[in-house]
Amino acid sequence: MKKVNRLIINLFLSIIILGITSCTNDENERKFDLNGEYTHLLEDCDNSSNPEINCLEFIVFNDSGIVSVLIGGGDIVFQTTYSSNESNVTFEQSPGLNYDITFTIIDATTLRRTEDGEIWIKSN
CATH code for the domain of 47 = 2.40.128
Tell whether 15 is covered by a domain.
no
Torsion angle of C-alpha atoms 108, 70, 68, 107, degrees rounded to 10: -10
Tell whether 8 is covered by a domain.
no
Cβ atoms 89, 78 nearer than 8 A: no
Dump pLDDT digits (tens) for 26-59.
444 556 789 999 999 999 988 888 888 889 999 9
Q: What is the pTM of this model?
A: 0.71
Tell whether 65 is covered by a domain.
yes
Tell whether 21 is covered by a domain.
no
Helix, strand, or coil here: 113?
strand
Give the range of the structural domain holding residue 76, as residue numbers without chain letter. Answer: 29-122
Tell whether 89 is covered by a domain.
yes
Tell whether 112 is covered by a domain.
yes
User: Per the structure, how many domains does the chain have?
Assistant: 1
Whether the pLDDT of residue 107 is over 80: the answer is yes
Q: Quick one: three-class SS letters along 36-86?
A: EEEEEECCCCCCCCCCCCCCEEEEEECCCCEEEEECCCCCCCEEEEEEECC
Dump pLDDT digits (tens) for 60-95.
999 889 999 999 888 899 999 999 998 999 999 988
Tell whether 37 is covered by a domain.
yes
